[in-house]
Amino acid sequence: MNRLTLGLACAILIAAFGSGMAWAQSSGSYNYSYDSTACTDVSGALGGGTENDALKTTMKVSSGNGVGLVVRPSAVVGLLTDVSLSGKSGAGTVTQSAQETVQFKVTATPLSGQAAPSVTPGDWVTYDDRYIQISTNLFSLLSTCTSLTPSTTCFFNFNETTLSAHSFDWVVTNLSSGDYGITVSWRYNNNGTSAPNQALACVGPVVLTAEQAKLFNSSTGMTF
């Protein structure tokens, strides 16, 4: 009888421990997609990068009640902005500029007949943007620019502005039970940069991760 009781107690403990493990594993899910093609920078020459403009993965949601998806595209981004100036005597001020932008966007597509979910942010997010402008009046004043010339007479101005975000979180909500397709897309824009100036970009490698999580809303607020 004692052996039977001990065996039954062990069986109950094992069953309880096993069910707890199963609950922990089913409380969230994770998926990813990966493009390993890398950008290169050889002595200032930009090259390589993936030829794709999107990565996809899928997520299965068991219940939409209080569940959200956290989607994170991470990428290496290379930018090349090459600005050249030319002029002649009497030309006054010469100005040239170049700008390159790389943006990412996440979309979630219902695959089981559900209503469309909400994706935040819902528009393109800038991962990298660089603007360079050079201005000078030296071509028309070379013969008069000396060490005695006031600094306001001859000038060479260099202006650079940069925006960067190489990893960003999108949140997908208003989910229902079923499958969803997750797509991250990226695009390039040279913002009208024209010859002889160059504005080039490359992307890669890229990792897309998607994780199911329970959204937390405290009715009494949180104190920090």
Specify which residues 223 forms β-bridges with: none
Lowest mean pLDDT among 14-23, 62-71, 120-129, 206-215: 14-23
Q: Kindly give the residue spans of alpha helices, DSSP state H, lying in the chain.
A: 2-26, 138-141
Residue 44 lies in a domain: no
**How many whole angstroms separate alpha carbon 31 and alpha carbon 71?**
10
- Res 14: pLDDT: 32
Tally of structural domains, the chain: 1
This prediction has a pTM of: 0.78
Tell whether the model's pLDDT for residue 100 goes beyond 50. Answer: yes
Q: Say which residues have a Cβ less than 8 Å from residue 2's Cβ, sequence separation at least 6.
A: none
Whole-number mean pLDDT of the chain?
82
**How many whole angstroms separate alpha carbon 155 and alpha carbon 135?**
8
- Res 54: pLDDT: 96
Confidence of residue 65 (pLDDT cuts 50, 70, 90): confident
User: Average pLDDT of 97-126?
Assistant: 96
Residue 187 lies in a domain: yes
**How many whole angstroms separate alpha carbon 162 and alpha carbon 207?**
23
The residue segments making up the domain with residue 209 are 50-141+153-214
**How many whole angstroms separate alpha carbon 129 and alpha carbon 124?**
13
**How many whole angstroms separate alpha carbon 52 and alpha carbon 73?**
14
Residue 90 lies in a domain: yes
Confidence of residue 79 (pLDDT cuts 50, 70, 90): very high
| Contact in structure between 107 and 183 (CB atoms under 8 Å) | yes
- CB crowding 3-15: b at 16 or more within 10 Å, else e: eeeeeeeeeeeee
Confidence of residue 85 (pLDDT cuts 50, 70, 90): confident
For 52, 79, 181, 185, 208, the CA distances from 36, given in Å and listed in that order, are 11, 18, 21, 16, 11
**How many whole angstroms separate alpha carbon 184 and alpha carbon 65?**
25
Residue 25 lies in a domain: no
Confidence of residue 150 (pLDDT cuts 50, 70, 90): low
Q: Residue type for 7, please?
A: G
Say which residue the tokens 């970009």 belong to: 201
Residue 64 lies in a domain: yes
Residue 22 lies in a domain: no
Tell whether the model's pLDDT for residue 223 goes beyond 50. Answer: yes
Residue 20 lies in a domain: no
- Res 17: pLDDT: 33
Confidence of residue 106 (pLDDT cuts 50, 70, 90): very high
Report the candidate in 165, 27, 190, 29 with the shortest Cα–Cα distance to residue 100: 190
Residue 200 lies in a domain: yes
H or E segment to which residue 127 belongs? strand 125-136
